[in-house]
Amino acid sequence: MRETEKIWMNGELVDWADAKIHVGAHGLHYGSGVFEGIRCYETEKGSAVFRLTDHLQRLHNSARLIQMELPFSVEGLKAACNEVIGVNGLPECYLRPLAFYGYGELGVRPTGCPVDVVIMSWPWGTYLGDDALENGVRAKISSWQRIGPNVIPHVAKATGVYLNSMLAVLEASKAGYEEAILLTETGYVADGSGENIFVVKNGRIATPDLSSSILPGITRDSVIQIAQDLGYTVEEKNLVRADLYLADEIFMCGTAAEVTPVRSVDDREVGDPGPITREIQSAYLDTVRGKREQWSHWLEYAPNPSAVTGS
């Protein structure tokens, strides 16, 4: 991880090296937190954060789902994100807002623990490897199932949930694959360890619907809109592993992974990134860098571009 200058902690900017918490913090023991992953991109008009408000609204929804009261409003967090972007002076960065039960009492019930909120920012390159965007990744269906909706609400981007993703991605990488694909307990395709998934067959695009134990990805939502605007039909429906094995094209998407092609699943070749994947990928990558007017409403420019770009 490349260190930057400052981290925002509970309303204050602190030096990177001093952004510490006590080992008794509740969130450390029980994974009791919620978080976001947001990208800020360099555009011709200065740095722009992709769908900042939607991400921070989702953070609030995640907190609500685990009955955590966030001490900062969406507007307050938006100002904080812009502050971090400005002070660290990076034209492009990944933002990581995180809210967790802090140091107070131990015991699973979080009564008596403060809610701490932090925002980190740093440059995060390609999520799934250097040539993932260009050539795609090899994926493996995990032996670990996605956490079901009555285990932990999957709509919440909660820290503890990621143990499930960690197990899946460790298993996949130890077996020589770049990413894991998780199925639900009933055997439908859910998602990747940190991405949503799309399948292309005979020119039609499909993705698991929101009831399939998936995070309602903001990139997923953007991709659906982009694909529809480009004239494609996008079906949100149950998919099974055979749909992956027989797909013409597969891609994964997320803030970190952007739009990453999948070249094989369980060693069954899907092949080089196909034309629809390429079209959507380039539309997305152009959009986030302010090069497509059609979807420019998703960009939220940092208020003071000169402070942000350092120019």
Point out which residues bind ligand PPE (CB under 6 A). 37, 165, 191, 194-196, 215, 217-220, 254-257
Least Cα distance to 59 among 72, 45, 46 occurs for 72
Instruction: Based on the residue annotation, tell me whether 157 is a catalytic residue of this protein.
Output: yes
Pairing of strands 93-101, 258-265: unpaired
Contact criterion met (CB below 8 Å) for 29 and 109: no
Contact criterion met (CB below 8 Å) for 252 and 198: yes
* Minimum CB–partner distance for residue 196 and ligand PPE (Å): 5
How many Cβ atoms are within 10 Å of 201's Cβ, its own excluded?
Answer: 15
Return the number of the residue (6 or 220) whose C-beta is nearest ligand PPE: 220
Return the number of the residue (97 or 113) whose C-beta is nearest ligand PPE: 97
Structure token digits, residue 45: 């008009």
Cα gap 239→143, rounded to integer Å: 17
Cα gap 19→16, rounded to integer Å: 6
Return the number of the residue (211 or 306) whose C-beta is nearest ligand PPE: 211
* Minimum CB–partner distance for residue 220 and ligand PPE (Å): 6
Contact criterion met (CB below 8 Å) for 196 and 243: no
* Minimum CB–partner distance for residue 222 and ligand PPE (Å): 8
- Marked catalytic residue, from 45, 157, 174, 201: 157
* Distances from the Cα of 251 to the Cα of 9, 18, 133, 169, angstroms: 36, 39, 10, 17
* Minimum CB–partner distance for residue 104 and ligand PPE (Å): 26
Structure token digits, residue 227: 């694909």
Residues near 24 by beta carbon (within 8 Å), at least 6 away in sequence: 103, 106
* Minimum CB–partner distance for residue 57 and ligand PPE (Å): 11
Cα gap 3→141, rounded to integer Å: 34
Return the number of the residue (157 or 263) whose C-beta is nearest ligand PPE: 157
Backbone angles phi, psi at 180, to 5 degrees: -105, 150
By three-state DSSP, how is residue 39 classified? Answer: strand
Write down the residue that tokens 């007017």 correspond to.
293
Contact criterion met (CB below 8 Å) for 157 and 62: yes
* Minimum CB–partner distance for residue 107 and ligand PPE (Å): 28
How many Cβ atoms are within 10 Å of 172's Cβ, its own excluded?
Answer: 25
* Minimum CB–partner distance for residue 94 and ligand PPE (Å): 7
Return the number of the residue (59 or 70) whose C-beta is nearest ligand PPE: 59
Q: Which residues are catalytic?
A: 157
